[in-house]
Amino acid sequence: MKTNPQVAIILPTYCEAENIADIIHTIENLRLNSTLVVIDDSSSDGTQNIVRNLKESYENIVLLSRPRKMGLGTAIRDGFHFLLSLPKPPKYIITMDADYSHNPNDIPKLLKLAKKGYDLVIGSRYCKQGKVKGWKLSRLLISKVANKITGMLVKVPLNDFTSGFRCYSKEYIKKALPRLHSETYEIQIETVRQARLQNSKIGEIPIVFENRKKGKSKLTLTEIAAFSKYILKVPWEQLFEKER
Ligand SMILES: Nc1nc2c(ncn2[C@@H]2O[C@H](COP(=O)(O)OP(=O)(O)O)[C@@H](O)[C@H]2O)c(=O)[nH]1
Ligand SMILES: [Mg+2]
């Protein structure tokens, strides 16, 4: 591994064999001096073999293998734990999907705002100049409604709560990680709520999100149920929030 990179990128993967090489090559071409952490849940499609081969060309890749599909939230949290356990944890930690919905060329824009002192920078599809390409109208509507409801409940002036394309500061992660418990996609909301509780500086930059060209969404019905249950609990939890 390279010494002391300031930036780390967490790429959670579950059966992304068709996408992972392209995304890693594009990230490497940015020459960010980053650590790239792939967290793979024993994908049956050979994702890990591809990453192992790439590790021979790129010394900054770390592959963390888990025994089975354990959820996006636990993957991101495991990535955070791993990075904080390094002798010199990176200052900026990016999370992004490995299916090419998030364009690696936007990473420098996330970093630019983070370097201005923002603890959480969100690549936003629903702010001015943000965009979603290739989603069916039904999926777009569900996502927009989920974001509106979340905005009303969580009370943070953001346009996109569920985007997984983000940059976190090390200081934020250190404080928030012991309080994060999400197993799946609700991690995106839980991290915003923690940022609000910590009075962290939160910002958005517009991104163009493109539906994955290859493979299927890994979001399961059980995970949608977990996400919905989490949202429904928010108003109740916020009554006691100050005591947490
Ligand atoms: N390690 C791990 N990665 C996951 C899991 N679920 C989803 N992912 C990855 O998380 C990212 C987002 O998932 P995706 O299926 O694209 O979700 P969608 O864009 O909301 O349909 C992708 O890189 C997936 O491979 C999981 O349970 N474990
Ligand atoms: Mg996706």
Q: Tell me: pLDDT of 1 over 90.
A: no
pLDDT of residue 112: 98
Domain 7-243 matching CATH 3.90.550.10: the answer reads: yes
Closest CA to 153 of 234, 239, 224: 234
Residue 3 has pLDDT above 90, yes or no: no
Give nearest CA residue, ligand 1 atom 16: 217
Mean pLDDT of 57-72: 97
Q: Which of 37, 209, 218 to mutate to test the pocket of ligand 1 (most atoms within 8 A of CB)?
A: 218
Q: Kindly give the distance from the C-alpha atom of residue 39 to the centroid of ligand 1, in angstroms, as a whole number.
A: 10
Ligand number, closest to the Cα atom of 97: 1
- Are 99 and 16 spatial neighbours (Cβ–Cβ below 8 Å)? yes
For the chain, what percent of residues have pLDDT higher than 90? 87
Ligand 1 within 6 A of CB of 77:
no
Q: For residue 221, count other CB atoms closer than 10 A to its CB.
A: 7
How, if at all, do strands 34-40 and 120-124 pair? unpaired
The Cα-based distances of 137 to 99, 102, 212 in angstroms read: 20, 19, 15
Q: Which of 147, 121, 143 is nearest to 134 (CA)?
A: 143
Ligand index nearest the alpha carbon of residue 73: 1
> Which atom, in ligand 1's list, is nearest to the CA of 75?
1
pLDDT tens digits for range 20-52:
999 999 999 999 999 999 999 999 999 999 999
Dist CA 5 CA 52 (whole Å): 21
- Report how far ligand 1's centroid is from the alpha carbon of 218 (Å): 5
- Using CA atoms, how far residue 104 sits from 53, 71, 218, in Å, is 21, 23, 20
**Helix (H, G, I), strand (E, B), or coil: what is residue 140?**
helix
Ligand 1 mutation target, pool 20, 72, 96, 216, most atoms within 8 A of CB: 72
Residue 123 φ/ψ, nearest 5 degrees: -75, 110
Token readout for 221 is: 């019905």
What was the pLDDT predicted at 243?
A: 42
DSSP 78-111: HHHHHHHTSSS--SEEEE--SSSSS-GGGHHHHH
Residue 71: CA atoms inside 13 Å, Cβ hemisphere, count? 18
Which tokens hold the place of 45? 């499609």
- What confidence category does residue 244 fall into, taking pLDDT thresholds of 50, 70 and 90? very low
Tokens linked to 226? 């977990």
Alpha helices by DSSP H, listed for 17-162, are 20-29, 47-57, 72-84, 107-114, 137-154
User: Residue 86: which pLDDT band, with cuts at 50, 70 and 90?
Assistant: very high
